Amino acid sequence: MAGQPLLELRKLRARVEGKEILKGIDLRVEEGETHAVMGPNGSGKSTLANVIAGREGYELEGEILFRGRNLLELPIEERAREGVFMAFQYPVEIPGVTNSYFLKAALNAVRKHRGEQELDAIDFLGLVREQAKLLGIDASFLDRPLNEGFSGGEKKRNEVLQMAVLNPRLAILDETDSGLDIDALRIVAAGINARWRQDGAVVVITHYQRLLNFLVPDFTHVLIDGRIVRSGDRGLAEELEERGYGWLEDEAASGESSRP
């Protein structure tokens, strides 16, 4: 019996300052699945991730159902507590707050929401050190101010560390591969794979196929000009790697030849 999907987008539209960026997205993500959303720059990939996470400033239509609840009715932090996690394309630097202080505040907010006991400093450090080790992150990383002065790769690893510690049901990785060299990519992907839960799902948003060598998608979707123009299996990702996006962009454009 097909249960409720973990995530379902229904006719999702997003506008910013009168400009339509997402033009009616339908997507179903079931538990245990890995989806890749690919597309050229400016196609709306990051907007899609941000809208699910709850970034403000968009006029939205349609529905984002997460375990049957419409996320559009939930504030940002409630979505996170319910189990939605977005790894930022550009993680924010916050001088003055240490990485571990921030992570502890986040984890305890999530645990409290789940009705779990908040972790004390010792239990928290035990957990976070273990996760850091799995991701090849030095423990000194935890005492540094959040993302301040981190290299691009360190920031991305830190996003994955946060994901590992918060243990979400749905992880959306927004261009997590950019800024990572091949070794870092391998470690990060291994960290995501090792951590992954059966009742969870991953949506990988990327421009390139290379992360997908390590994080194998069950489905691949191509987003062009705010629409999913094609969906397929991992073979589609490989095809895109060979042929680029041009042929799909041409198809998408010819399908809209009535446009001025």
Partner 1 sequence: MSGPLLERFEDARERLPGHGLPWLEDLRQGAFEHFRATGMPAPTDEDWRFTNLAPLRKHDFTPTLLAPATRSPERPEGTARARIVFRDGRFDPAHGTPDALPAGVSVRSLAHVLRDDPDRVRARLGQIADPKSRALWALNTAWFEDGALIEVAGAAKLDAPIEVEFLQSGDGSKLVTPRCLILMGPGSRAAVCERYRSTGAGPYLTNALSEAVLETDASLVHVRIQEESSTGFHLGGFASRQEAGSRLQQISIALGSRLSRFEISSLLEGEGADCALDGLYLAKGRQHVDHHTTIDHAVPHCTSRELYKGILAGQSRAVFHGRIQVRPHAQKTSASQTNRNLVISPDARVNTKPQLEILNNDVRCTHGATIGQIEEEALFYLQSRGIGPEEARALLCYAFASEVAERIPDQATRDWLRDYVDRWIREPGP
From residue 65, give the alpha-carbon distance in Å to each of 39, 123, 129, 170, 180.
23, 34, 34, 12, 32
With binding defined as CB under 8 A, does residue 49 bind partner 1?
Answer: no
Handedness of CA 64, 70, 72, 75 (dihedral sign): negative
Minimum Å distance from CB 164 to partner 1?
Answer: 13
- Looking at residues 73 to 112 of the shown chain, list those that interact with partner 1 (rule: CB under 8 A): 75-77, 79-81, 85-86, 88, 91-92, 94-97, 102, 105-107, 109-110
Site string for partner 1, 203-232 (x = CB under 8 A): ------------------------------
Site string for partner 1, 53-72 (x = CB under 8 A): xxxx----------------
With binding defined as CB under 8 A, does residue 113 bind partner 1?
Answer: yes
- Quote the longest CA-to-CA distance of the chain: 64
- Strand 201-206 and strand 34-38: pairing? parallel
Q: Which SS3 state, helix, strand or coil, does residue 255 take?
A: coil
Radius of gyration of the chain (CA): 18
Burial of 58 (0-12, 13-18, 19+ CB in 10 A): middle
Whether 258 contacts 57, CB under 8 Å: no
Whichever of 21 and 224 has its CB closer to partner 1, that residue is 21
Minimum Å distance from CB 96 to partner 1?
Answer: 3
Give the Cβ contact number of residue 96 at 10 Å.
8
Minimum Å distance from CB 79 to partner 1?
Answer: 8
- Looking at residues 157 to 186 of the shown chain, list those that interact with partner 1 (rule: CB under 8 A): 162, 166
With binding defined as CB under 8 A, does residue 17 bind partner 1?
Answer: no
**Using a CB cutoff of 8 Å and minimum separation of 24, what contacts does 148-154 make?**
148/93, 148/94, 148/95, 149/93, 150/91, 150/93, 151/179, 152/178, 152/179, 152/180, 153/179, 153/180, 153/181, 153/184
Whichever of 93 and 130 has its CB closer to partner 1, that residue is 93
Whichever of 157 and 227 has its CB closer to partner 1, that residue is 157
The single residue listed with the structure tokens 């959306």 is 172
Whichever of 50 and 220 has its CB closer to partner 1, that residue is 50
Minimum Å distance from CB 130 to partner 1?
Answer: 19
Whichever of 2 and 92 has its CB closer to partner 1, that residue is 92
Site residues for partner 1 per CB under 8 A? 53-56, 75-77, 79-81, 85-86, 88, 91-92, 94-97, 102, 105-107, 109-110, 113, 162, 166
